[in-house]
Chains A and B, each alone.
Chain A
């Protein structure tokens, strides 16, 4: 049984700065990486493979830089990569990404499990897993915090807001994981060196016969206005604490 893991290439969010004058994010020349929760999905895939066999296939959609970014997934233990690349797929919206992922997954054909993170690192919209499941007409089990595969059946515990739900479904199934599921490994130098040599299959959208029709339009994307006083008391002494309490009192925030 092969295990598919969908990963998303995003800018390293720790390095995103905001242009003060315009409140626009600066995205140029920021290293690209794979989303944090995607790494949990990958880690889980590798662990399952080590138990039940088969291959872990990382599937991703994006700009040409994906050639490099995907090495991270291969170094973490994915055996192969299937990529859909095109400049137009750079930061593609969920509906387009799902279409391209599903088409690439169909090319793989033989799979039992499709793992995704509960949400991407940048947009966290949580649409792609359910959309892929719908396109491929598969059941979906989302927000999974632990799982096991036994006799072609998935047994998983979902973490919902108010409860844990233990569910079962026959493979193949789409599973989205939460970050609590595991601790992703840090690849060793040997694994990083080997990553570049692992098999990679690359498609263009037109080769998959998919139309990249947008379903949403982004009118603006700006940092929220933050108008804060930024008063800093440097000492943490009784006097500083008294000044803080006095300031909060003056604003009617305490001792109401």
Chain B
């Protein structure tokens, strides 16, 4: 029976994708398989809905390197009879997806945020035109490579037994040598999962004003996030806090945008929020076009008032 093959270098994402694979597979008559390269406990994937778990003891797989992993997945996909390959759309996953798709002569969609089966065909959506639009696309080649955003799939519990297959792969060693790896020292902040996000943009004049955003976030039980320039240009906040096309996509109940102009590259990261609030000193700021509630005013005046009112 043909299969949907799942891979992510992130264990949690691989489990999510198995949930997706199971759901899609039941509609398309495909089984859910996972390539568990470099994983500590491959058989744990059976509890997440995998009917086949592929493992390989190959020196070349010790470090994740896209071209080697692409070849390993190519060989695995052929063995598994995979028609669809789901990959976690992380940075590593995206570079892998493109290379694998090229190797297999396949079409590829990255940063996929929804997947559904329509008339037997897998239909995906992703942001396009810098986030201004959402493109609905299908892959029309025999093999489809789909990179799915982390958090899209839902993990499932399964008690069914599966098959563990040990592959003998034929891989060339990596041509890229990893010399050093330094942790970014972040990673504990779950922007995607946050219920309340307080987002800071370039309308904030001084770094010390961040305190006002932090106090507001604390009063709401939320997290402080930011537009890209606040992290990459100003370096006031770490990159993991970036919201938008090149950062995190949040789905909070409440998003509060402070000094954010409303460029689509940012708003794509919060537009799924249930309620959006903006504070901006420019009454014509574009952000007010897409907010539920807006306040025109200086951040230094409005924020202390807002925080105080919420605490009262």
CB closest residue in chain B, given A254:
B310
The reply to whether B302 and A140 contact each other, CB–CB distance below 8 Å, is no
* Binary flags per residue of B268-286, CB closer than 8 Å to A gives 1, else 0: 0001001111010001000
Closest Cβ of chain A to B307, distance in Å, is 10
The reply to whether B107 and A216 contact each other, CB–CB distance below 8 Å, is yes
Question: Does any Cβ of B come within 8 Å of A106's Cβ?
Answer: no
The reply to whether B99 and A133 contact each other, CB–CB distance below 8 Å, is yes
From 122 to 145 in chain B, residues with beta carbon under 8 angstroms from any chain A beta carbon are 123, 126-130, 132-141
Question: Does any Cβ of A come within 8 Å of B206's Cβ?
Answer: no
Interface centre among A166, A176, A220, A241 (most CB of B within 10 A): A241
Partner of A169, one of B175, B182, B297, B298: B175
The reply to whether B130 and A127 contact each other, CB–CB distance below 8 Å, is no
From 93 to 147 in chain B, residues with beta carbon under 8 angstroms from any chain A beta carbon are 94-99, 101-103, 106-111, 123, 126-130, 132-141
Question: Does any Cβ of A come within 8 Å of B26's Cβ?
Answer: no
Interface centre among B184, B245, B309 (most CB of A within 10 A): B309
The reply to whether B293 and A128 contact each other, CB–CB distance below 8 Å, is no
Closest Cβ of chain A to B69, distance in Å, is 11
Partner of A163, one of B97, B98, B184, B293: B184
Question: Does any Cβ of A come within 8 Å of B156's Cβ?
Answer: no
A235 contacts across to B, CB distance below 8 A? 296-297
Q: How far is the CA of A225 from the CA of B86 in the complex (A)?
A: 27
The reply to whether B295 and A130 contact each other, CB–CB distance below 8 Å, is no
Question: Does any Cβ of B come within 8 Å of A222's Cβ?
Answer: yes
Known interface pairs A214-B140, A215-B141. Does A13 touch B129 (Cβ–Cβ under 8 Å)? yes
The reply to whether A179 and B98 contact each other, CB–CB distance below 8 Å, is no
Question: Does any Cβ of A come within 8 Å of B41's Cβ?
Answer: no
Question: Does any Cβ of A come within 8 Å of B166's Cβ?
Answer: no
* Binary flags per residue of A221-254, CB closer than 8 Å to B gives 1, else 0: 1111010111111111110111011011001011
Q: How far is the CA of A173 from the CA of B66 in the complex (A)?
A: 13
Question: Does any Cβ of A come within 8 Å of B202's Cβ?
Answer: no
Q: How far is the CA of A235 from the CA of B133 in the complex (A)?
A: 33
The reply to whether A163 and B95 contact each other, CB–CB distance below 8 Å, is no
From 196 to 236 in chain A, residues with beta carbon under 8 angstroms from any chain B beta carbon are 214-224, 226, 228-236
CB closest residue in chain A, given B253:
A253
Question: Does any Cβ of A come within 8 Å of B16's Cβ?
Answer: no
- A-B pairs with beta carbons under 8 Å apart, 10 shown: A94-B98, A95-B108, A118-B246, A126-B110, A215-B139, A216-B137, A224-B134, A226-B271, A241-B302, A251-B275
* Residues of chain A at the chain B interface (Cβ within 8 Å): 11, 13-14, 16, 18, 25, 93-95, 98, 118-119, 121-131, 133-135, 139-143, 155, 159-170, 173, 176, 179-180, 214-224, 226, 228-238, 240-242, 244-245, 247-248, 251, 253-255
Known: A11-B129, A141-B176, A233-B294. 8 other contacts (CB 8 A): A18-B132, A122-B130, A162-B184, A221-B128, A228-B289, A228-B290, A231-B294, A232-B293
